[in-house]
Amino acid sequence: MSAFFLAFLSTALVIASGRDALFVARLSQALHRAPGLHVAIVLAAVVLGALPVWLAGSVATHLDGAAGRLFVALALFVAGAELLVLRSSPTPAEPTHSTIATALVLAVRLVSGASGFLLLALAARGTAPAAFTAAGGLLGALAVLPMAALAGEDWERLPLRIVRPGVGLALLMAGMVIGWIAVF
C-alpha cells in the first residue's frame, strides 16, 4: 500500500473513532453550523498534514536503526494510549465565533492527538517522500471532519465507542511489536 493511501485511511479511521470528530460535531452544534467552522477545519487539516511530517523529517535524520524504530514504536504507543485513555470533552458552553481561534484550537487538538502521533510514526520511517504522507493526512482529516460538522448531533449516535478501543488496541499492539523488534 502506498504511503498516501496508508496515511489517508489510517488518519481517517483514527480521527473518526477518536475525540476530534466528536469535538467538531459538538462544536458545530453549539455554533449552529456556522460556515467559519469549515474554514477552520481546512486550516487545521493543513497544519495536521504539515507539522507532524515536518517534525518527523527533522528528527528522523538523527535516528538510525533501532533508535528510529523505537521512535516509531513510541509514537504509535502514545496514539493508541490516547484513544484508549482520554475521553471526549463536553460541548463548549460558550464557543468562540472567531474562525482563527477555532482553527488554532482544532489544529492543536489534531496535532497533539492520536492522528498527529500516527502521522509522526508514518513519516519517521517511511520510504516514500514526506509529501505523500502529508497529503494523506490532510485528505484523511478533510474526509472525516466536514462530515462530522455536517452531522452535528447525529455524529454522537454512530457506534464509534465500539470502534475506538479496537483502533487503540491495534495501535498499541503495533507500537509494542515494533518496539520489541527494535530492542531484540
Q: For residues 122-146, b (16+ Cβ closer than 10 Å) or e, as one string?
A: bbbebeeebebbbbbbbbbbbbbbb
Domain range for 54 is: 3-183
Give me Rg for the CA atoms of the chain. Answer: 16
This prediction's pTM: 0.91
- What pLDDT, in 10s, does the model give residues 140-182? 999 999 999 999 889 988 988 889 999 999 999 999 999 999 8
Query: Is 60 in contact with 133 (CB distance < 8 Å)?
Result: no
- What pLDDT, in 10s, does the model give residues 49-58? 999 999 998 9
Query: Is 154 in contact with 62 (CB distance < 8 Å)?
Result: no
Cα–Cα dist 95/172, whole Å = 33
| Number of separate domains in the chain | 1
